[in-house]
Amino acid sequence: MGSDLVQINTSPNVQPEEVRVGGEPLFSDDAVRGKTFYIETFGCAMNVHDSEKVAGTLMSRGYRPVETHQEADLIFYNTCSIREKAAEKVFSRLGVLKKAHRNGSKIIGVLGCVAQQEGEEIFERAPQVSLVCGSASYTRLPDLLEQVEAGNRRVTGLELDTEDCFETEFTRRDNPFRAYMTIIEGCDQRCAFCVVPMTRGPERSRPSERILADCRRLVDEGYTEIQLLGQIVNAWQDSSPERLSFAELLARIAETRGVRRVRFATSHPRYFTPDIVEAIESHPALCDQIHLPVQSGSTDVLARMLRGYSREQYLEKIDCIRRSRRAISISTDIIVGFCGETRQDFEQTMTLLDAVEYDQIFSFKYSVRPNTAGAGYEDSVPEDEKGRWLAELQEHQRQIQLRRNQALLGQEFEVLVDSYQPRLGQAVGRTTSNRVLNFPGAAEWIGHYMKVRVTGAGPNSLVGVRADQNTGADGFTHPRISNPA
Ligand code: SAM
């Protein structure tokens, strides 16, 4: 999905003592006792969740989270290199740090995709950095931290060839109701534009029995919405004796007592099968939302991108989703200006928007990435042309979204309230189709499920009013009581 800068809220209210396993006090070395950390996360949901696990690992060692790098003894940047701009962001952050912390009293680490891509070069470009660690080496993080804490100044975790997933009992989650869970790491596709296989390593799936045990544990901890993550989430394969298919896994998670919502991203069209739609149809807890990146509407461009499907084959998958008895919302990712893309190719992408009528798109100008097949082609579309195409695409999609959202006026939806905007007196909820719905509310409603009637619609969000004012003694539908599935 779209990559945005996300800053992990290092929630200083959570003290290390609260991260316990089975009631046992955690390891806390004298060397780190009382020390603080700050993590800034760039990029996708998988990075956000990795940072939650890194934060948990640090807290299990006695570190305490703080909200700014100025207060922190240890500063980590968890980075994204999906596009050049994203990769450059971390170096600009490191530049700021260099000026701010000249005396070298802080430990600075670069994690994630830029770490993997640039490797030890980072120490040359930013000598204030002591740790460079790619996501495929996170299982070694406690060991690497020990080396840094012992005073080593060029510690690396850069091995890519691993069969392990980053499994840890320590995860400091940022959202108390919605939990991320990685089910598959790495990527074995070789899309011509994409750097992920080179930064996250080969595909490796977690066994279903461990995934299901994690779901039960999350429910016990009060989570009602689970978001399954993977670069290609539907390429997941079960190494447990049960050998569940991806669709069967979805069904089993949805049937877990206490789970009210399940989402999954990102699906690849090549592995998208009708049984996934059937599972959504028969399990209300599976959200009516599918993110299915198309990248381009032109079969020629798709072939050069090495995506493994044509426009027509993609549209067959869309037909299968649209035939469902549930109105499933569809979103996608699109790249404009890929190598060799012509105006005619781009127009094919524009007509695809009309053919599918997406509820949301994440769109990007093509950015050449190192070590990809695309890096060997000519980046033939000028930057300003890419910019014009992107603006045209986004404006067209804006109209489609406005029309689709306006068609929902008067309908009622259940939302999970995410946040509250005090200035506007508005609660902000999400429907199962992942639409944002704002309505007059109160801060105490955060984390509750409520029925809301749509009274207004814009291209990116809806507004409404409570439609279940009289239900329950306090007017709430409580999230932890029942599973409608
Ligand atoms: N693994 C997912 C897949 O293959 O569909 C994509 C994950 S990527 C984090 C999110 C999106 O970034 C991609 O779907 C694509 O649209 C975009 N993207 C990836 N590489 C890009 C590049 N070199 N230039 C521009 N956009 C890119």
- Residue 190 Cα to ligand 1 midpoint, Å, equals 12
Check if 183 has its Cβ closer than 6 Å to any atom of ligand 1: no
Angle at the Cα of 227 from the Cα atoms of 246 and 159, rounded to 5 degrees: 80
Bridge partner residues of 225 (DSSP): 178, 261
- Residue with the nearest Cα to atom 10 of ligand 1? 1
- Residue with the nearest Cα to atom 25 of ligand 1? 366
- Residue 82 Cα to ligand 1 midpoint, Å, equals 7
Mean pLDDT, the chain, integer: 90
* CB atoms inside a 10 Å sphere around CB 27: 10
- Residue 197 Cα to ligand 1 midpoint, Å, equals 11
Virtual CA dihedral for 175, 179, 183, 185, nearest 10 degrees? 0
Averages of pLDDT over each 10 residues, the chain, 485 residues: 36 36 42 85 95 95 94 96 91 85 84 96 94 95 93 94 88 92 96 96 96 97 97 97 98 98 98 98 98 98 98 98 97 98 98 98 97 97 98 98 98 97 97 98 96 98 88 46 33
Check if 193 has its Cβ closer than 6 Å to any atom of ligand 1: yes
**Most informative mutation of 80, 194, 362 for ligand 1 (most atoms within 8 A of CB):** 194
Q: What are 393's two structure tokens?
A: 């695409």
Check if 307 has its Cβ closer than 6 Å to any atom of ligand 1: no
Give the pLDDT score at 140.
93
- Residue 363 Cα to ligand 1 midpoint, Å, equals 9
Check if 265 has its Cβ closer than 6 Å to any atom of ligand 1: no
- Residue 156 Cα to ligand 1 midpoint, Å, equals 26
Cα of 59 vs its chain's centroid, Å:
22
* Predicted structure pTM score: 0.90
Check if 266 has its Cβ closer than 6 Å to any atom of ligand 1: yes
- Residue 194 Cα to ligand 1 midpoint, Å, equals 6
Check if 230 has its Cβ closer than 6 Å to any atom of ligand 1: no
Q: Which atom of ligand 1 is nearest to the CA of 232?
A: 1
- Residue with the nearest Cα to atom 1 of ligand 1? 231
Contact 200, 231 (CB under 8 A): yes
Check if 198 has its Cβ closer than 6 Å to any atom of ligand 1: no
Check if 268 has its Cβ closer than 6 Å to any atom of ligand 1: yes
Gap between the terminal Cα atoms of the chain: 27
SS (H, E, C) the chain: CCCEEECCCCCCCCCHHHCCECCECCCCCCCCCCCEEEEEEEECHHHHHHHHHHHHHHHHCCCEECCCHHHCCEEEEEECCCCHHHHHHHHHHHHHHHHHCCCCCCEEEEEEHHHHHHCCHHHHHCCCCCEEECHHHHHHHHHHHHHHHCCCCCEEECCCCCCCCCCCCCCCCCCCCEEEEECEECCCCCCCCCCHHHHHCCCEECCHHHHHHHHHHHHHCCCCEEEEECCCHHHCCCCCCCCCCHHHHHHHHHCCCCCCEEEEECCCHHHCCHHHHHHHHHCCCECCEEECCCECCCHHHHHHHCCCCCHHHHHHHHHHHHCCCCCCEEEEEEEECCCCCCHHHHHHHHHHHHHHCCCEEEEEECCCCCCCHHHHCCCCCCHHHHHHHHHHHHHHHHHHHHHHHHCCCCCEEEEEEEEEECCCCEEEEECCCCCEEEEECCHHHCCCEEEEEEEEECCCCEEEEECCCCCCCCCCECCCCCCCC
Tell me if the bond preceding 266 is cis, omega within 30° of 0. yes
Check if 309 has its Cβ closer than 6 Å to any atom of ligand 1: no
- In angstroms, what CA-CA distances link 140 with 57, 161, 167, 229? 11, 13, 11, 21
Q: Which atom of ligand 1 is nearest to the CA of 189?
A: 4
Give the pLDDT score at 162.
87
Contact 111, 122 (CB under 8 A): no
Give the pLDDT score at 480.
39
How far, in Å, CA of 150 to CA of 161, rounded? 27
Give the pLDDT score at 6.
32
Helices 274-282 and 246-254 pack at an angle, to 10 degrees, of 10
